[in-house]
């Protein structure tokens, strides 16, 4: 058989079994070994951006006698991370001191995002952000784009130049925002339409209807968001909910007819199985039930929640309601794009509530689990042949400190735990997007 562009990667391969769901972990299968594949001295064959085969190196290499082998012996080859909540526009305001959500937005975030009114500055910032994202091993993200049409267009250009799978849209706001970040509802909608026509489902790009949050949206904007979803039912939606107590009080005042925060979005048809809700800390029982019934996608952002003093996401309770739990860095409320660090913080949020989240469970939530929640598991999230070859190389010996500890692990569970607890971008040796190394991408 002729093989174009075939490459063989040799290393310790780790990925989840295709059929696993979050329930399998909670049912205690973590230890049974049926939920994952860990192939020490394994082989990953990649051709034309897709996974061709995976297996034991010594057995499978015979099938590819002439192929180029890239040797990552001793390193882990694993699917790239999926970050389901971040802000492309906030690299310039991470690590801003002393404020909780609403003041933090007004004092730091909105002024920072005003840089995106200039297209050159926007492109520079987007390129910085994407380099950092990829350095951290994230190969798919759901993220908030800029306000304007032209900066959002630049974002999509830069995404497609890298061929990175991404779900994003122009962040729409039409009240409770500074003048420079406020557009009339209709203009937000028209910008969205132009972007959808140009970019949605082009290559690996998907559009997300992005009303920033109900607090900065008029009813007209939410109504127009609904129109977009009605006109284009396959669009994603992303927004924030129940992140901060002052925010929730504000929602009661702005939407006095609403039963609760989620009811505002539900009233406008925005609670769907393609809606990603960031934060979800203060859900009422009724909101948990509606999230479950609509199969909405939850994105927990533990680093941001701790940094902004927002509160603790109730992992145990959410797991009782839904499988569709994913994780987000929420840069710049979160101070890092490392999903390893996000996983570490998620563990600590559990511990603060006397709930232990297994290592495998957490890793699943930002790989195959997120792919399933987003409806993308036919193309990403594991190494099933035919899927897109988005993978990362993790070096467990990248630093002396991590090496000292990983030398002493007993099994894959402990190895994952140590990588999540001690790791960050230092451990990510390379990130491959659609079969291409991003190391020297400029
Ligand atoms: N709610 C509305 N906008 C934002 C934002 O930019 N970051 C966070 N963490 N919450 C928000
Ligand atoms: Zn956010």
The whole model's pTM is what?
A: 0.98
| Ligand 1 mean position, distance from CA 228 (Å) | 22
Pick the last residue of a domain from 341, 373, 405: 373
Residues 187 and 265 in one domain: yes
Residues 144 and 209 in one domain: yes
Domain that holds residue 199: 81-373
- 242 Cβ inside 6 Å of ligand 1: no
Residues 139 and 153 in one domain: yes
Residues 94 and 110 in one domain: yes
Residues 423 and 278 in one domain: no
- Span 51-81, pLDDT tens digits: 999 999 999 999 999 999 999 999 999 999 9
Ligand that comes closest to the CA of residue 85: 2
Q: Judge whether 1 lies within some domain.
A: no
- 432 Cβ inside 6 Å of ligand 1: no
Pick the last residue of a domain from 373, 405, 429: 373
Ligand that comes closest to the CA of residue 84: 2
Q: Judge whether 352 lies within some domain.
A: yes
- 362 Cβ inside 6 Å of ligand 1: no
- 333 Cβ inside 6 Å of ligand 1: yes
- 243 Cβ inside 6 Å of ligand 1: yes
Residues 275 and 340 in one domain: yes
Q: Judge whether 340 lies within some domain.
A: yes
- 240 Cβ inside 6 Å of ligand 1: yes
Residues 52 and 200 in one domain: no
Ligand that comes closest to the CA of residue 181: 1
Q: Judge whether 442 lies within some domain.
A: no
The predicted structure's pLDDT at residue 32? 60
| Ligand 2 mean position, distance from CA 243 (Å) | 9
Residue nearest to atom 7 of ligand 1 (CA): 333
CATH for 216: 3.20.20.140
Residues 282 and 329 in one domain: yes
| Ligand 2 mean position, distance from CA 86 (Å) | 6
Quick one: three-class SS letters along the chain?
CCCCCCEEEEEEEEEECCCCCHHHHHCCHHHHCCCEEEEEEEEEEEECCEEEEEEEHHHHHHHCCCCEEEEEEEEEEEECEEEEEEECCCHHHCCCCCCCHHHHHHHHHHHHHHHHHCHHHHHHHHHHHHHHHHHCCEEEEEEECCCCHHHHHHHHHHHHHHCCEEEEECEECCCCCCHHHCCCHHHHHHHHHHHHHHHCCCCCEEEEEEECCHHHCCHHHHHHHHHHHHHCCCCEEEEEECCCHHHHHHHHHHCCCCCCHHHHHHHCCCCCCCEEEEECCCCCHHHHHHHHHHCCEEEECHHHHHHCCCCCCCHHHHHHHCCCEEECCCECCECCCCHHHHHHHHHHHHHHCCCCCCHHHHHHHCCHHHHHHCCCCCCCCCCCCCCECCEEEECCCCCHHHHHHHCCCCCHHHHHHHHHHHCCHHHEEEEEECCEECCCCC
| Ligand 2 mean position, distance from CA 278 (Å) | 6
- 214 Cβ inside 6 Å of ligand 1: no
CATH for 74: 2.30.40.10
Residues 232 and 160 in one domain: yes
Q: Judge whether 145 lies within some domain.
A: yes
Residues 420 and 327 in one domain: no
Residues 332 and 362 in one domain: yes
The predicted structure's pLDDT at residue 27? 59
Residues 248 and 192 in one domain: yes
Low-confidence ranges of the chain (pLDDT < 50): none
Number of domains in the chain: 2
């Amino acid at each position: 058989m002729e093989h174009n562009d075939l490459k063989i990667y040799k290393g310790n391969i780790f990925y989840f079994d295709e059929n696993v769901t979050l329930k399998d972990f909670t049912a205690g299968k973590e230890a049974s070994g049926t939920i994952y594949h860990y192939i020490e001295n394994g082989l990953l064959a990649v051709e034309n951006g897709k996974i061709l085969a995976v297996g034991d190196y010594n057995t499978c290499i015979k099938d590819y006698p002439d192929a180029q082998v890239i040797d990552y012996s001793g390193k882990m080859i694993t699917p790239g991370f999926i970050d389901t909540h971040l802000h492309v526009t906030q690299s310039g305001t991470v690590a801003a001191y002393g404020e909780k959500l609403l003041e933090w937005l007004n004092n730091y975030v909105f002024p920072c995002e005003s840089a995106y009114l200039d297209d050159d500055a926007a492109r520079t910032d987007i390129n910085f952000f994407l380099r950092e994202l990829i350095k951290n091993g994230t190969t798919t993200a759901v993220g908030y784009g800029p306000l304007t049409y032209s900066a959002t267009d630049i974002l999509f250009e830069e995404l497609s130049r890298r061929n990175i799978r991404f779900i994003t849209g122009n962040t729409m706001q039409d009240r409770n925002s500074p003048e420079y970040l406020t557009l009339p509802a209709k203009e937000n909608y028209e910008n969205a339409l132009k972007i959808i026509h140009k970019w949605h489902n082009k290559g690996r790009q998907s559009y997300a209807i992005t009303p920033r949050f109900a607090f900065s949206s008029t009813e007209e904007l939410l109504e127009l968001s609904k129109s977009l979803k009605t006109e284009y039912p396959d669009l994603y939606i992303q927004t924030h909910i129940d992140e901060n107590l002052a925010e929730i009080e504000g929602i009661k005042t702005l939407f006095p007819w609403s039963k609760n925060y989620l009811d505002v979005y539900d009233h406008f048809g925005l609670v769907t199985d393609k809606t990603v809700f960031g934060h979800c800390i203060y859900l009422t029982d009724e909101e948990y039930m509606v999230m479950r019934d609509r199969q909405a996608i939850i994105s927990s952002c533990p680093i941001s929640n701790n940094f902004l003093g927002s509160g603790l996401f109730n992992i145990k309770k959410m797991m009782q309601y839904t499988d569709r739990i994913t994780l987000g860095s929420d840069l710049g409320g979160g101070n890092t794009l490392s999903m390893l660090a996000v996983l570490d913080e998620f563990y600590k949020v559990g511990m603060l509530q006397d709930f232990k989240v297994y290592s495998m469970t957490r890793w699943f939530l930002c790989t195959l689990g997120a792919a399933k929640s987003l409806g993308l598991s036919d193309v990403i999230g594991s190494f099933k042949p035919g899927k897109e070859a988005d993978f990362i190389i993790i070096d467990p010996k990248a630093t002396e400190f991590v090496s000292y500890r990983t030398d002493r692990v007993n099994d894959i569970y402990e190895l994952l735990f140590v990588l999540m607890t001690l790791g960050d971008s230092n451990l990510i040796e390379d990130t491959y997007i659609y079969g291409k190394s991003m190391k020297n991408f400029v």
